[in-house]
Amino acid sequence: MKRGILSFDLTGTLATFKFCDAVYFEGLPQLYAARYGVSFEEARDYLKSQYDTLGEEIPEWYDIRYWFHRFGLGDGWTELLRAYASHIEYYPEAPEILERYSGEYELVLITNAAREFMEVEIEPIREYFTRTISCVSDFGEVKKTPDFYGKVCRSLGRRPEEITHVGDHWQFDFVAPRGHGLRAFYLDRTGRREGEHILHNLTELRDRLI
């Protein structure tokens, strides 16, 4: 019998930012430059300014389909994501940790990324997860709040104390889940924070999940 649910954030926790950055700061600007006859540098600077104008508080910020439509680039987001799949990169210890704990826990992925983006990014590790949850696509939210984690618990049919969450955002992956009664670990790869519930890499879970 498994010990409960172990949930992970995606980018910054299991995967590096390489794929995300390549799509938004290389792929999209290249398409924009070709579409409107401007240089790549001009296109990249303009798109960056547009990303900043919308801001992370808006659900569309996380939606690749929205940016394609906003910039008049058609419907080729799936092709773009697939074209940059070679940039998907996981932190060295991540696959080993997923393999190890998939036998002990029910593994769940909880991410801010829209589902279209997430499904490509997790394809090499998809087998380890029984559920994947996108804040934006599944709940229409951009922040992992205590209330959001309550919705996750109800969706999974589990009590808060049955779920342990691991992520790299102090507020969204540590403070918020603890605010709803989940056990949580903050992944600080910079090594700046110390504490009982602070991890500097995922391997340190071995000494904490007891």
pLDDT tens for residues 72-92?
Answer: 999 999 999 999 999 999 999
Query: pTM for the full model?
Result: 0.90
What's the rounded mean pLDDT across residues 164-180? Answer: 94
What's the rounded mean pLDDT across residues 132-145? Answer: 86
Predicted confidence at residue 145, as pLDDT, reads 85
| Rounded Cα gap, residues 37 and 90, in angstroms | 35
pLDDT-derived band at 140, boundaries 50, 70, 90: confident
Does residue 56 have a pLDDT over 80?
no
DSSP state of 186: E
Predicted confidence at residue 136, as pLDDT, reads 86
Q: Count of residues for the chain?
A: 210
Tell me the CATH number for domain 5-16+90-208. 3.40.50.1000
pLDDT tens for residues 101-136?
Answer: 999 999 999 998 889 999 999 999 999 999 999 988
Tokens of 63: 């939606």
pLDDT-derived band at 207, boundaries 50, 70, 90: confident
C-beta separation of 195 from 185 below 8 A: no
Predicted confidence at residue 1, as pLDDT, reads 66
Task: Write the burial class of residue 195 (CB in 10 Å: 0-12 exposed, 13-18 middle, 19+ buried).
Answer: exposed
Does residue 69 have a pLDDT over 80?
yes
What's the mean pLDDT when you consider all of the chain? Answer: 93
Predicted confidence at residue 208, as pLDDT, reads 87
